[in-house]
Structure 1
C-alpha cells in the first residue's frame, strides 16, 4: 500500500474543501464489450494537455498524402469533443482501428502504440522520442542504430513478493551490458565477431515519457504467459539532470494476458486532482481510501503503464548518468 501512496503523493487526508468544489466534471467511455483496454488508453490521451490541443487543432488537408490515418484523427476529434460534454461511445474509433471483435480483450500498450503510429507526427510527437542502440567492441569501435520510440519497456526481474523500484528499473535499462558469446556482433573494422558491450541512450527525449512495465513472462515449464504481481515503488517525480518529470497517469490491469480489466488513475492538468477512469465511471479521488476502492484492488490489480510529463523543454540526450546526478 505504501508504494501507491508514494506514487500518487497523497498525505492520507482529505483535500481542502475549496479544491474539492473546484474539481472538473469529466466523462466516461461506454464499454462495447471488452474494450476497457481502449477506453483506458483514450482517457490517458485525452487527459494529456498537449495531445488534446493538437487533436482539437487538426485540420484535414485532402491534398496532403502524409496525414496518416486521417479518419482516426477525425474520430479522435469527435470523441474529445463529446468527452467535453457527456459520456461518449467509441464505435468510430474501433472502426478506424479495424477492431472487428469488441468482445475480445487486447493489450493496452499495443493499442496505445497503434493509435500514435497511425496519426500524423505533428499530433503524436508529444509522446515520441529517439533511442540510440549502441554497441562497442574491445578496440573501442562504436556502432549506433537510431530509431524512434513511443514506450520504454522495463523488465521486471524481481520475485512476486518483492518490491520493484521503477527508478532503478529505468537505470537498468540504460546500463551497459555484455552480450553472451553466441550473440557477439560483427565489427566491420575488426573484420570479425568480437566481444560486444551494448547500451541505450535517448537522443531525443519526448515531452511525455511512457514506461511499459512488462508484467508478463513466458513460463516454459507451464508453456504459458505468467503475470508478475509484485508491488512497485514509484516516485511522483523523476529528476533527470535539471529536468523534473511529473507522474500524471497510471494504467492498471487485473486478470491474465488474455482477459481481465483495465482502468486508470489520472491527474488532471486542469485542477491538479486525481481521478479514476473506469469505462463509463469517473470518480474524483478525495482520499487514499477512495483511491484504493476506485482504482486499486491489491488482490488482483497491478500497475501496467506509467505516463510521466516534463513541463519544460526536455533534454535532447539522456543516459543512465542523468538519473544518478
Structure 2
C-alpha cells in the first residue's frame, strides 16, 4: 500500500487513532468477497474484542480451524508496528477453501453466503469447545463411578439449555411469527432466532420501509389457509413477522439478486435503497419502543450482474469513514456513503450498491 498508506496517515495526521491499524488485504484472484466481509468484521468492535480475548485464553495445542485462522489474522493486524499496510490473509483463505468446496472455485462468490457460513461455522466451533469444557468440568467434579465401571445413568427428560456463545450475544436476535385465526381469533406465536435479516427491496425505497414490509400483515386464504389447532380445521388467518428481541449488531442483507422466471436466471436489482447512518427500530414489539442503531460498515457489490463483479467495503472507525478495496485503503467523507444507495433509474453507469449493512445498537431511547 506504500504511498497510499502514507497518504492515509497524512490525511488523518494527529487524528490517527491511537493503537488502531488500517491494513488492506491481498486478493488471491477472486477473494474480494472474503476481504470485504473480514474488514467489516474487524471494525465491528465487540466482535474483534471477543475474538482476540478468545485467542488469548485458548489452548496452545488447539487444532487449526476457521476460528484459529481468523484469530491469527486479527492478531497479526493489531500487532503491526506500522499503522498502515497490506496483509495477505493466506492461511484463512486456504482453510476456508479446504473446508468448503463452494469457495474453492475461481467463480464470483457471494459475500452474504460467505458471512452466513463464517458466523455459523464460528458458532459450531465455539459450541463444541463449550461442550468439551463442560464435560471436562463434570468429569472433575462428578462423584465416584459406579462399582461395575459403568457410568452413572443420565436423568431422562432433562431440558438442556442451548449453549449461548459470544457470537450469539453479538449477532443473534429473535423473530416472532404470529398467526391469528380469523374465525376464533386465537393467536399462535412461534419464535425463531436470526443472525441477519434478509430484506426484499423495491425501487426508491429505504431500510425503514423495507423493515415495515418485512413486518407487514399477510392474509392466508384459499390454498394457503392455516390449520388452526383450536378450530381443528383449515381457516383463513393473518400472519405477521415481528422482531421480538433485536440483536446488539444488526446485520441487514438487501436481496439485490432476484431470480427472473422469464430469463431463467438471476438478475441484479440496482434499486435505490436509502440506508440511514442512524436507524430506529420503532414499534417492532411493545417492549422495545425505540431501539436506535448506528451504521458502521457496508459491504458493497460492484457490477451489473450476480455472476461477475467485485466487492469493497466502507467502515466507520473512530468517527472517520474508510474505503477498503482489497489492498487499497482510503479515507472518505461521510457524505460519500450515500453514493452507494443505488440508482433511481433502471439503466445507470453507477453499479456500486450497498449489499450488506452492519448497525450497532445504541440502546433504547
TM-score, with structure 2 as normaliser: 0.71
Query: Equivalent residues in 2 for 1:246-261 (5 A)?
Result: 246-255=294-303, 256-261=305-310
Structure 1 residue 204: Cα displacement = 2.2
Deviations 1:167-198, CA, capped at 9 Å, x for gaps: 11111111211124222221111111111211
2:285 paired with 1:236 = no
2:346 paired with 1:279 = no
| Cα distance in 2 for residues equivalent to 1:287 and 1:149 | 30
Structure with bigger RCO (C-alpha 8 Å, 6+ apart)? 1
Match of 2:77 among 66, 71, 83: 83
Match of 1:199 among 208, 221, 240: 240
| Cα distance in 2 for residues equivalent to 1:218 and 1:243 | 33
Structure 2 SS opposite 1:304: strand
| Cα distance in 2 for residues equivalent to 1:57 and 1:133 | 36
Cα gap change, 1:145 to 1:92, in 2 (>3 Å): farther
RMSD: 2.9
Match of 1:265 among 288, 309, 314: 314
| Cα distance in 2 for residues equivalent to 1:181 and 1:211 | 33
Structure 2 SS opposite 1:130: strand
Structure 1 residue 286: Cα displacement = 4.2
Structure 1 residue 309: Cα displacement = 0.7
Query: Equivalent residues in 2 for 1:32-51 (5 A)?
Result: 32-51=28-47
Structure 1 residue 145: Cα displacement = 2.1
| Cα distance in 1 for residues equivalent to 2:95 and 2:177 | 33
| Cα distance in 1 for residues equivalent to 2:45 and 2:332 | 20
2:15 paired with 1:22 = yes
Contact 2:274 2:338 in 1 (8 A): no
Structure 2 SS opposite 1:92: helix
Structure 1 residue 247: Cα displacement = 1.0
Structure 1 SS opposite 2:24: coil
Deviations 1:209-229, CA, capped at 9 Å, x for gaps: 111111111111111111111
Structure 1 SS opposite 2:210: helix
Structure 1 SS opposite 2:67: helix
2:173 paired with 1:129 = yes
Match of 1:156 among 196, 201, 222: 201
Contact 2:66 2:92 in 1 (8 A): yes
Deviations 1:135-171, CA, capped at 9 Å, x for gaps: 121112222222210111111133xxxx121111111
Structure 1 residue 237: Cα displacement = 0.6
Structure 1 residue 102: Cα displacement = 5.2
| Cα distance in 2 for residues equivalent to 1:244 and 1:195 | 36
| Cα distance in 1 for residues equivalent to 2:328 and 2:105 | 19
Structure 1 residue 93: Cα displacement = 2.1
Contact 1:28 1:83 in 2 (8 A): no
| Cα distance in 2 for residues equivalent to 1:70 and 1:173 | 39
Q: Which residue of 1 aligns with 2:58?
A: 60
Structure showing greater Rg: 2
TM-score, with structure 1 as normaliser: 0.80
| Cα distance in 2 for residues equivalent to 1:164 and 1:290 | 16
Match of 1:104 among 95, 102, 107: 107
Query: Can you give the 5+ residue segments of structure 2 that lack an aligned partner in the other structure?
Result: 1-9, 127-163, 282-288
| Cα distance in 2 for residues equivalent to 1:44 and 1:18 | 21
Deviations 1:37-95, CA, capped at 9 Å, x for gaps: 111111111100000000001133699xxx9x972111111110122325222232233
